[in-house]
Amino acid sequence: MKIRHTLLLAAFGATLAMPSQAQFAKPEDAIKYRKNALFVMGQHFGRLGAMAQGRTPYDAKLAAENAVVLETVSKLPWAAFGEGTDNGDTRAKPEIWKESAKFKDAADKMQTEMAKVVAAAKSGKADDLKAVFAGAAGSCKNCHDNFRSQ
């Protein structure tokens, strides 16, 4: 399990090191990439949320493991919102490109809040996670409300 986890993180690290424009041969590749990154992020954020909200028992080890993945994955989708990725199989609203500064601010806010969740989850204290989770969830909701078609 640790080897697979290490390989996954290494692959993500290699992806982060690549220039953003060179990552995707076609716009549909970028769309697929960001959708998958956001899906994985949602899965790990949801697991932490279930613990923060008391829907599942708090487990410090599982919280820290999910935080490690979330720390990396929460940085991935943003490079995949490039030119030409506004059409196709996507729920991205045109506002992403029309109001790019607002979208960047929302993405930056989400990453700031996600860093708080990661630190809290790694602390091993359920109360730390509970204290920051709502702020991060709110930043996700803000972006979905403004930049994602339902």
Match 């769309």 to its residue by tokens. Answer: 31
Please tell me the number of Cα atoms within 13 Å of 150 on its side-chain side. 3
Residue 13: pLDDT band with limits 50, 70, 90:
low
What are the pLDDT digits (tens) for 44-64? 999 999 999 999 999 999 999
**pLDDT above 80: residue 77:** yes
What are the pLDDT digits (tens) for 107-130? 999 999 999 999 999 999 999 999
**pLDDT above 80: residue 12:** no
Between the alpha carbon of residue 37 and those of residues 67, 111, 138, the distances in Å are: 15, 14, 19
Instruction: Provide the residue ranges of all domains of the chain, joining segments of one domain with +.
Output: 26-147
The CATH number given to 26-147 is 1.20.120.10
